[in-house]
């Protein structure tokens, strides 16, 4: 028998972090479209300032009830104390990192990660005297730890090669050295992976992707312990990257269907990955749900699903691969992932277009590489569409 007090992720996605009734007994969450909040008297203001009115707000850059609902829902799904919502995933990533480092700190970053996160750590933090090491594995991470190391940053699964490092090991090693850990869990979602359960301190998501899920809004969240979240909140007050109330409404509404969307995307992506792997026009498929993937064992142990993104390399030139991409009728060509619509792209022509060829290829972004972000369309139709497009290759 399941513990009736312990709700499943399906139920938490719908109800988690919400009051039994919203104002006016509305079932849907209200959009509190205001920049400022008022007090009925100086006495009320003083009680607020003394922390006696925890649900009250003062000014929109510090907090908003619509935004608060997103923060409480993500905290409930990740099973942590508290969360914070931002205007974009990168606002969440950068504000969280900045809150934890100072001049002289050292940061460790796993190589396969979101390009802008790498750019921020390398180029921006570098200007303020924060040093970093880029590592490929947990053992390299362990050797890179120094007395000044404050933070280890990784993604699970990584973009686009979908590697999954053993987060439990990362957390264990870092805890022993009092180094904080931050995982960008955008690709996994709390439905497939809960990094905090494995001992990770902070979990970040680009809410633009699976959480909101409809390719119609930008957002980001971070969540973790009360103490760490409060440090980041103080910095968000200064930097000002809070989520907008309208965006918060869309993200909150999106999360209601997160569990069923992700379950569907897990299933369809696995079917597509298996189909591609069996096709001899495909050189390699990077999907952690395939036994051939280097992270299959770790991913099977840590994750309850393998996600909706399938990366693969077509056995063809960049130009021929573009012909295949153009011949796919269902997915649209575009960056991003995690929405209801399938999207397809060649990383060499999208996120990495501006990078010199040798540098790009050293990162594995070769011309034949394709990232397919599966939506919620019918899986058999997605596969038939892919098969027809592959037939256009010589
Ligand atoms: C998209 C993405 C981001 C950035 O999020 P935005 O909402 O676009 O700012 C960060 N990390 C990962 C893994 C992403 O996919």
pLDDT in tens, 22-42: 999 999 999 999 999 999 999
Does residue 218 have its Cβ closer than 6 Å to ligand 1?
yes
The residue to mutate among 89, 219, 242, 251, having the most atoms of ligand 1 within 8 angstroms of its beta carbon, is 89
CA 4 / ligand 1 centre spacing (Å): 35
Is 210 within 8 Å of 186 (Cβ atoms)?
yes
Instruction: Report in angstroms the alpha-carbon separations of 215 from 77, 317, 364.
Output: 21, 30, 27
Return the H-helix or E-strand segment holding 135: strand 131-135
Separation of alpha carbons 205 and 190, rounded Å: 10
Tell me how far the alpha carbon of residue 54 lies from the centroid of ligand 1, in angstroms: 31
Torsion over CA: 189, 192, 197, 198 (sign): negative
Instruction: State whether residue 33 is helix, strand or coil.
Output: coil
User: Where in the chain are all domains bearing CATH 3.90.1150.10?
Assistant: 258-390
Tell me the CA–centroid distance for residue 34 and ligand 1, in Å: 27
Ligand 1 centroid – CA 114 distance (Å): 7
Residue 269 pLDDT greater than 60, yes or no: yes
| Model pLDDT for residues 349-371, shown as the tens digit of each residue | 988 888 898 989 888 899 999 99
The 10 Å CB-count burial string (b at 16+, else e) for 153-168 is bbbbbbbbbbbbbbbb
51 in the Ramachandran plot: left (φ > 0), alpha (ψ -120 to 50) or beta? left
- Taken as a whole, the chain contains a residue count of 394
Q: How far is the CA of 219 from the centre of ligand 1 (A)?
A: 9
Beta-carbon contacts of 224 under 8 Å, excluding residues fewer than 6 positions away, are 80, 81, 82, 83, 196, 201, 202, 203
Q: Is 89 in the pocket of ligand 1 (CB under 6 A)?
A: yes
Return the residue whose CA atom lies nearest to atom 8 of ligand 1.
Answer: 89
Which tokens belong to 388? 């027809």
The Å distance, Cα 354 to ligand 1 centre, comes to 18
Q: Is the peptide bond before 317 cis (omega within 30 degrees of 0)?
A: no
Looking at the predicted structure, is the pLDDT value of residue 1 above 50? no
Atom of ligand 1 nearest to the CA of 186: 13
Closest CA relative to residue 110, chosen from 137, 148, 131: 137
Cα(38) to centroid(ligand 1), Å: 35
pLDDT confidence tier of residue 206, bands split at 50, 70 and 90: very high
Tens digit of each residue's pLDDT (9 = 90 or more) over 289-346: 999 999 999 999 999 999 999 999 999 999 999 999 999 999 999 999 999 999 999 9
Query: Which pLDDT does position 132 carry in this prediction?
Result: 98
**Pocket of ligand 1 contains residue 114 by CB under 6 Å:** yes
Quote the pLDDT of residue 2: 54
The response to whether residue 206 sits with its C-beta less than 6 Å from ligand 1 reads: yes
| pLDDT for 285 | 98
Q: Return the pLDDT at 363.
A: 86
Is residue 278 over pLDDT 50? Answer: yes
Q: Which residue has the higher pLDDT, 7 or 150?
A: 150
Give the residues across from 313 on adjacent strands: 284, 369
Shortest-distance atom of ligand 1 to CA 155: 13
Residue nearest to atom 5 of ligand 1 (CA): 89
What's the average model confidence in pLDDT over 203-209? 98
77 has pLDDT over 90: yes
**Cβ 72 under 6 angstroms from ligand 1:** no
Residue with tokens 């972090």: 17
- Ligand 1 site, residue 110, Cβ cutoff 6 A: no
108-162 residue pLDDT tens:
999 988 989 999 999 999 999 999 999 999 999 999 999 999 999 999 999 999 9
pLDDT at 165: 96
- For residue 90, the CA-to-ligand 1 centroid distance in Å is 6
Task: Classify residue 178 as exposed, middle or buried by CB count within 10 Å of its CB (0-12, 13-18, 19+).
Answer: exposed
For ligand 1, whether the C-beta of 155 sits within 6 Å is yes
Tell me how far the alpha carbon of residue 271 lies from the centroid of ligand 1, in angstroms. 25
CB 339 less than 6 A from any atom of ligand 1: no
pTM, two decimals, is 0.96
Q: Please check the confidence at residue 212 and state whether its pLDDT lies above 70.
A: yes
pLDDT > 90 in the chain, percent = 92
Q: What is the mean pLDDT of the chain?
A: 96
Q: Where in the chain is the domain with CATH 3.40.640.10?
A: 9-255
Counting from 1 in the atom list of ligand 1, the atom nearest the Cα of 219 is 7
Q: What is the Å distance from ligand 1's center to 307 Cα?
A: 15
CATH (one of 3.10.28.10, 1.25.40.10, 3.40.640.10, 3.10.129.10) for 9-255 = 3.40.640.10
Strand order through the sheet with 149-155? 82-86, 220-224, 202-206, 180-184, 149-155, 106-110, 131-135
CATH topology of domain 258-390: 3.90.1150
Both structure tokens of 378: 């019918």
User: How many angstroms separate the Cα of 183 from the Cα of each of 67, 177, 201, 230, 243?
Assistant: 22, 17, 8, 18, 20
pLDDT for residue 6 is more than 80: no
Spatial distance between the Cα atoms of 331 and 345, rounded to a whole number of angstroms: 9
Q: For residues 266 and 192, is the Cβ–Cβ distance under 8 A? A: yes
User: Is the model's pLDDT at 4 over the cut of 80?
Assistant: no
């Amino acid at each position: 028998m399941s513990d009736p007090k312990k709700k499943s992720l399906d139920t938490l996605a719908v109800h988690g972090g919400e009051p039994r009734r919203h104002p006016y007994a509305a079932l849907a969450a209200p959009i509190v479209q205001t920049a400022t909040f008022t007090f009925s008297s100086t006495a009320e203001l003083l009680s607020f300032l003394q922390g006696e009115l925890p649900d009250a707000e003062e000014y929109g850059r510090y907090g908003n009830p619509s935004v608060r609902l997103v923060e409480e829902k993500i905290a409930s799904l990740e099973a942590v104390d508290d969360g914070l919502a931002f205007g974009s995933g990168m606002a969440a990533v950068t504000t969280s990192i900045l809150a934890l480092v100072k001049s002289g700190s050292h940061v460790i970053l796993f190589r396969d990660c979101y390009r802008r996160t790498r750019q921020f750590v390398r180029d921006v933090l570098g200007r303020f005297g924060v040093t970093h090491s880029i590592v490929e594995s947990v053992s390299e991470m362990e050797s890179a730890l120094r007395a000044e190391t404050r933070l280890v940053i990784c993604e699970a699964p990584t973009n686009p090669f979908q590697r999954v490092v053993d987060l439990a090991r990362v957390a264990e090693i870092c805890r022993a050295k009092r180094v904080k850990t931050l995982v960008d869990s955008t690709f996994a979602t709390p439905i497939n992976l809960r990094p905090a359960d494995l001992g990770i301190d902070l979990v970040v998501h680009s809410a633009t992707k699976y959480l909101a899920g409809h390719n119609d809004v930008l957002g980001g969240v971070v969540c973790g312990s009360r103490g760490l979240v409060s440090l980041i909140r103080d910095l968000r007050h200064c930097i000002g990257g809070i989520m907008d109330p309208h965006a918060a409404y869309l993200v909150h509404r999106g999360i209601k269907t997160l569990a069923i969307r992700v379950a569907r995307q897990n299933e369809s992506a696995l079917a597509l990955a298996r189909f591609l792997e069996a096709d001899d026009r495909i050189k390699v498929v990077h999907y952690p749900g395939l036994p051939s993937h280097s992270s299959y064992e770790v991913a099977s142990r840590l994750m309850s699903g393998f996600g909706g993104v399938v990366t693969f390399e077509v056995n063809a030139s960049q130009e021929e691969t573009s012909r295949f991409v153009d011949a796919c009728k269902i997915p649209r060509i575009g960056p991003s992932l995690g929405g209801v619509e399938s999207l397809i792209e060649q990383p060499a022509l999208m996120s990495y277009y501006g990078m010199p060829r040798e540098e790009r290829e050293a990162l594995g972004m070769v011309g034949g590489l394709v990232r397919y972000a599966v939506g919620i369309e019918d899986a058999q139709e997605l596969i038939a569409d892919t098969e027809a497009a592959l037939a256009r290759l010589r």
